[in-house]
Amino acid sequence: MKADRRIPSPREAVKILQESGCSPNVIRHCKAVARLATKIALKCKDEKINVDVRMVHIGALLHDIGRSKTHSVHHVAIGAEIARSLNLHPSIISIIERHVGGGITADEAEKMGLPNRSYVPETLEEKIVAYADKLVEGSRRVPVERTLEKLKEELGADHPSIRRVRDLYNEISTLIGEEEMEDSSQIRDDIASTNLNKR
């Protein structure tokens, strides 16, 4: 495999999703998450916070590649395996593996039948993609409260994932300023002006 495939361009990343068998809906979702995640990463850069915007963009585009095989929580492990088989950069693999919910601990993973390791986002790039994914339903921006309500319905109000999503939201919104991220029309305008899909 070519060395430049380790960090594919945005167009190559979308092609990887297509060739892996992701549906058009999954690809639209990945693009929407990538737009929002990139906006967040750029805001971090504006705040002089060290973040790899390119890694966020490509990791977000590929975060749901495992949905080409399953829509269960196992898509994170399957997606990471697909990424490994494509010799993608380890940071992209980690973004794919750690984007679900607010993360899954090793104990929770074992109970779910996932490989026994932590799926909790650790790096800022991983956290940004996980955060953006929680704010995009399909290809539309949703408030974090909607995501939390859905998780409470699915997992129960006391599930530790609820706290982890809230903590992730608080951490990222503190970095970028919550009011900045609430205006989705401004986000769309800003994303359109960045024109990151040239590559």
Strands (E), the chain: 136-137, 140-141
Partners of residue 141 on adjacent β-strands: 136
Confidence of residue 6 (pLDDT cuts 50, 70, 90): confident
Whether the per-residue pLDDT at 99 is higher than 60: the answer is yes
**Domains of the chain by residue range:** 3-198
Distance in angstroms (rounded) separating the CA atoms of residues 40 and 78: 26
Predicted confidence at residue 192, as pLDDT, reads 39
Of the candidates 13, 50, 53, 46, the one whose C-alpha atom is nearest the C-alpha of residue 31 is 13
Cα distances (angstroms) measured from residue 13 to each of 42, 55, 57: 20, 12, 10
Whether the per-residue pLDDT at 137 is higher than 50: the answer is yes
Distance in angstroms (rounded) separating the CA atoms of residues 137 and 139: 6
Structure tokens at 18: 């297509």
Domain 3-198 bears CATH identifier 1.10.3210: yes
Whether the per-residue pLDDT at 2 is higher than 50: the answer is no
Structure tokens at 27: 């690809």
Using the structure block, give the residue that is written with the tokens 């309500």: 149
Q: Cα dihedral sign for 15, 18, 24, 27?
A: negative
